[in-house]
A and B are shown apart, each in its own frame.
Chain A
Amino acid sequence: MDIITGLTIFVLAVFVGVEVITKVPPTLHTPLMSGSNAISGITLVGALLAGEGVLGGILGFLAIVFATTNVIGGFLVTHRMLSMFKKKK
């Protein structure tokens, strides 16, 4: 993949993000933030591919731990918050 393809994907994704996110009502801004935070833990994919050699393995392991904490914690806590909104109809 060359740099222009990568940049194209990045810029288009930013536009999609802006379009979708501006429609999120203020009531849901905190869940949005913790949910998107969990998504930023996608670095986990990179972390899984990172380890090579001893030093790489250590860095990779730490990266996996941090990213997994971010992902699991982020999605779980968002779910906890959202179930509170759901309870009362």
Chain B
Amino acid sequence: MFNIVLKPIVIAQQSLEGLEKPVVEAAEKVAQVVSWPQFSNFGYLVASVLFILGIKGLTHPRTAVRGNLLGATGMLIAVLVTLVGGHVSWPVAIAGIAVGTAAGTWFANTVQMTQMPQLVALFNGFGGIASVLVAGAEVLREAPSTGNVAVAGLAAGLAGLIGSVTFTGSLVAAGKLQELPQFRKPFSFPGQQIINAVLVAVSLLLCLNMMDGSGVEYILLTIIALILGVFLVTPIGGADMPVVIALLNSYSGLAASAAGFVINNNVLIVAGALVGASGIILTNIMCKAMNRSLLNVLFAKFEPSADGPSDDEVYAGKIKSTSPEEVAMLLDGVQRVVVVPGYGLAVAQAQHIVRELATLLEAEGVTVEYAIHPVAGRMPGHMNVLLAEADVPYDQLKEMDEINPTFSQCDVAIVIGANDVVNPVANTDPSSPIAGMPILNVSDARTVVVVKRSLSPGFAGIPNPLFAADNCLMLFGDAKQAMMDLVAAMKDS
């Protein structure tokens, strides 16, 4: 009995003794070649590769979930390598991670999909302020860490500047998107742009000074930059928020990259550069979709032209109002219907009932598609998310360039809560504020049904001649109620 138990152990021990020497020798050899800092840098390399693969996964809906998981794995590896290898203060690290995890989980689980832009703006701000604090802690360090002191100082200045602008700018953007009363109106005062220019110049000078700088200069710099962030975003109107969020997203990445130069860490530089690139590309796409330059968005006001035609001239006597029953009859026997959703649809939570209408139509053999304007919603691609939430299959979501040539083969186009993005004035009137803005050519459809509460103008503040067109019918009412009535009428017939 005793032997049966002991014998394998003895054998195992003997074989281990035999193994021990080569293993230890091998480990020593590895240790000679690879030091711990090198090993943790290797971990950071793996993390960087995972971030790139993660974003690559987002190039297709099928691989997107895996891509996001790859990115998260990269982050986990980067954090673990840091925890094990760095000189980390464990109580601070554990407490901070616990609080942040709780907060992040709460935000992610409670946010509504219509509020997604606010949340992204808020998180941008958090990333920005974290970079400010990291650079700040480094500046305060008595003995600066390795590397070139001047470079680290300059990078710290940039991290403080970009991070602070990102932080307050994002908070203001989030406030505007949440439609908090304090931020409802674009706020500006005379000479604001000159003051902003002075603030930028002073903070850049302070950045240069940071090369042999002190904590005092850093604090001064961050205070100025925090004010600058507020001043830069308050004058920008709600319609331009997609651009602002994309730009702030880019900034949060650049701040992280700058923090990477401060602490001499490659993974921060790489990850920050990726985010910076992503943000600037999306900024560019949004600007193109509105036919405006970035400078125009940032520094010019989007004012309705005073000399354009008034509502009465455009609408008087030409508006044809319709009823859900009439639209239901209209939809009887059609072949192709295109739904044009606007943010009004999302706010009214009408996407689910629209989906029900589509199911009814599809059951009768009708092709249903959705025309998505790039700036529909409050951030790039926001409308796609809102429709995906209502189980709309993503292959029915058509981008503007794809669907525009096909409107002439469309029996009925149903415009719900969208206004400026279907205004033909963009193509016809070079003096209009939206002149040249690419629009959805819904007026090419045989019949257009516009679901809207009233004839009130959109963000651009100009009347829409589409509503007065011969082939256009207005279905006045709340998006959700109108669609519910329409679905009921379809079921009755």
Chain A residues proximal to chain B, CB less than 8 Å:
1-3, 6, 9-11, 13-14, 16-18, 20-53, 55-57, 59-89
Contacts and interface: CB of A to CB of B under 8 A. Distances in A.
B105 A76 contact: yes
Contact of B105 (A14, A21, A73, A87): A73
Contact of A20 (B52, B74, B140, B394): B52
Contacts of B268: 42-43, 45-46
Given A56-B140, A70-B127, A85-B394, A64 B252 contact: no
Interface string B39-66: 0000010001001101110111110110
The A interface, classified by DSSP as helix, strand, loop or mixed, is helix
A20 B59 contact: yes
A41 B268 CA distance: 9
B271 A28 contact: no
Contact of B274 (A13, A48, A59, A89): A13
Given A14-B273, A63-B133, A85-B388, A26 B96 contact: no
Contacts of A6: 151, 260-261, 264, 266, 269
A83 B336 CA distance: 29
Interface residues of B, number: 115
Contact of B272 (A1, A16, A42, A80): A42
Contacts of B257: 10
Given A45-B79, A77-B119, A33 B379 contact: yes
Contacts of A59: 133-134, 136-137, 140
B420 interface: no
A45 B267 contact: yes
16 contacts: A6-B260, A13-B274, A29-B380, A31-B64, A33-B379, A35-B58, A36-B275, A38-B71, A46-B268, A48-B83, A53-B140, A59-B133, A64-B93, A65-B103, A73-B104, A84-B388
B101 interface: yes
Nearest to A62: B133
Contacts of A50: 133-134, 137-138, 263
Interface stretch (B16-24, B277-285, B304-312, B405-413): B277-285
Contact of B381 (A20, A30, A67): A30
B265 interface: yes
B137 A17 contact: no
A37 B120 CA distance: 7
B111 interface: yes
Nearest to A29: B381
A3 B394 CA distance: 45
Interface in B232-256: 245-246, 249, 252-253, 255-256
A38 B51 CA distance: 10
B95 interface: yes
A31 B272 contact: no
